[in-house]
Amino acid sequence: MNETTLHQDKTFTGINYSEKKLQNREFIKCEFINCDFSKSDLSHNDFMDCHFKQCNFSLTVVTGTGFKDVTFSGCKILGIDFSKCNKFLFSFCFEQSHLDYSTFYGTKLRKTRFTDCALKETDFEEADLSAAVFHNCDLSGATFVRSVLEKTDFRTARNFSLDPSLNKMKQARFSALNLAGLLYQHQLDIDYGHE
């Protein structure tokens, strides 16, 4: 068994981890600024209380990776399969980030905040998003099937389409202006009073 290298209270700036494999690392209270993790393999490393700013995570492998109380700000997180992460170290906050084509299939994302994010074609099938918030997020093509959306806040979300008959949606929050996203499957012509 390899020894785990611990990094605590460190700042990593402009480091290129692209297409590299990181092994046996634990990061606590670290900050990553303008780092490139595209196509890198971060499997089985742990990140706790870390903040990623303007980092690129396109097609990064995160099998067994732990993310606990991790914030992503202004990051590119394209095509990542979060369903393969460590389920016991799994809590995030996403701000001004692109999570297009990522999957959260079957994950627990209770109370997760997504603020000013693009989540195009993102897979939330069977995810528990209880009390999660999608503040000013673009959910074009995002999939919600057998998802738990109880108390989930979609009031400022846009371009979502979800079928209430396929999801648990008790007390989910919507604005009157974005209710069309709940009715898309009925192919209704909704008139908003505009001439």
Query: What DSSP state is assigned to residue 116?
Result: S
Half-sphere exposure of 132 (CA within 13 A, CB side): 25
Q: Is the pLDDT of residue 68 over 60?
A: yes
Task: Name the average pLDDT for the chain.
Answer: 92
Confidence of residue 177 (pLDDT cuts 50, 70, 90): confident
Helix, strand and coil in the chain, % to nearest 5: 10, 30, 60
pLDDT for res 187: 56
Confidence of residue 194 (pLDDT cuts 50, 70, 90): low
Confidence of residue 3 (pLDDT cuts 50, 70, 90): confident
Residue 176, CA distances (Å) to 161, 179, 192 in order = 15, 6, 10
Q: Is the pLDDT of residue 166 over 60?
A: yes
Residue 60, CA distances (Å) to 43, 53, 64, 75 in order = 9, 16, 12, 13
